[in-house]
A and B are shown apart, each in its own frame.
Chain A
Amino acid sequence: MPRRNQWARAAIDRVPARWLATGATGVFLAVTAAFGGLASVPEPPLPEIGPGETFTGAELAMTPIRVTVAEELEYSGLIADAGVDERVLTLIMDVTNLSDVPRRAESDGSASEVRIEGFPDVAPAIARLEDENFAVAWLQPNVPTQIALSWLVSADDVADLTEVRVVLHTATEYVGSSVMHGRYWDDVTVAGFADLPVEELPPAEDQS
């Protein structure tokens, strides 16, 4: 048995320990350099789109169409509190569910995560534009539909607003295993922006 690895022992014995340490460090640095160095890579800027362009995140294809401000929008389900000067800020968006199961527009990770920069971080009221009602909207796979996302905001904040930045998101889908059952979305992160002009709707008109 000793005969087999005798040559290995002899070879190792010949290399001075100093060389081994230096050699290992050299190899380590070479590999690090090959992978781009120790400094962290700057993240690529998030995509920015305009009206009519499509952004895909959280398995939803979202195409913002327009943003409107109105005193009230009947089908949004939002009513300003009496005595408070509020407006309804609405984003009209085409959305297509790209996943293989139906999802509610109001669920976590779905269209309800869209926000408008500078306005409160709350989920919008969602209405399906074709039906003009604010009942629950289920997004069937691969069936495009147009939805209206509405927020109740103070009139001062939208007084001279000409353009807004819509914050679009992505999320990760998980499958519940032991305690949770079914599929759910989590880890919602900002993943894109859309810049749209704001249209002020005249008071008499409720529809857009």
Chain B
Amino acid sequence: MMKKALPWVATVVLLIGAWFVQLITPSDDVAAEPFLVAASIGSEAVGREIVVTVLEVRAASTVTSSSGWSAEGTWLLVDLNAETVTADRLLQGATLTIDGLEFRASERMDSIFSTKLVPGIPRTGTIAFELPDASLTGTGILHLSLGDDTRLDSVIELTIPLDELTTSAEESVHVTEWATS
């Protein structure tokens, strides 16, 4: 009896195994995913070509810049020092993801976003994110990278507990300049 049933049992077992293997096989896209480097406030995070130290995270309902520009809304500001490792590059990857929505660093004012970073000498500045009202709850994931396309490159990741931030009435975007140690 067992001998007769054995091929059937083996087939079923192998089919289940194959289904399971297919289930856990990652998709092709995974091969090109960026390499995440976890960062925390105050400590240096080193990627392949980018080195970032996030100094502070602020929230405000009005944001001003040194050129006299200002805007109201819900704003999240990230102060950071950044440098590259081997060559001059622009800081062009800065996204904040909250609850499935992805936001891009604001281009509405001068900030360290899209400015040149040099090897070995840190620049300091602020990146600003314009958010919908009442969105500063839960957890925000900040991703910083040199390029907009982050495939196969390092991405500095910072988890921001948004509930712990207090929203000021007004905050300013710091001028982008050389960092003072």
Interface residues of A (CB under 8 A from B): 100-102, 128, 130-131, 135-136, 138, 140-143, 181
Contacts and interface: CB of A to CB of B under 8 A. Distances in A.
Contact of B106 (A138, A141, A142): A138
Contact of B104 (A100, A128, A138): A138
Given A181-B149, A181-B151, A143 B132 contact: yes
Interface residues of A, dominant DSSP: loop
B170 to A, nearest CB: 16
B102 interface: yes
Nearest to A96: B132
B108 to A, nearest CB: 6
A101 B102 contact: yes
Contacts, number: 38
A142 B101 contact: yes
Q: Which A-B residue pairs are the 4 nearest by beta carbons?
A: A142-B132, A102-B104, A141-B101, A101-B102
24 contacts: A100-B100, A100-B102, A101-B101, A101-B102, A102-B103, A128-B108, A130-B71, A131-B69, A131-B108, A135-B107, A136-B107, A138-B106, A138-B107, A140-B104, A140-B106, A140-B130, A140-B131, A141-B101, A141-B102, A141-B103, A142-B101, A142-B135, A143-B130, A143-B132
A101 B107 CA distance: 15
B42 interface: no
B17 interface: no
B120 interface: no
Contacts of A130: 71
Given A100-B101, A141-B101, 19 more contacts: A101-B102, A102-B103, A128-B108, A130-B71, A131-B69, A131-B71, A135-B107, A138-B106, A138-B107, A140-B103, A140-B106, A140-B129, A140-B130, A141-B102, A141-B103, A141-B132, A143-B73, A143-B130, A143-B132
A129 to B, nearest CB: 12
A181 B152 CA distance: 13
A140 B135 CA distance: 12
Nearest to B107: A138
Which of B73, B101, B102 is the most central at the interface, judged by chain A CB atoms within 10 Å of its CB?
B101
Interface string B65-108: 00001010100000000000000000000000000111110111
A128 B71 CA distance: 12
A135 B101 CA distance: 24
Contacts of A128: 108
Nearest to B129: A140
Interface string B127-155: 00111100100000000000001010000
Contacts of B100: 100
Contacts of B129: 140
Contacts of B104: 102, 138, 140
Contacts of B108: 128, 131
Contacts of B101: 100-101, 141-142
A138 B92 CA distance: 14
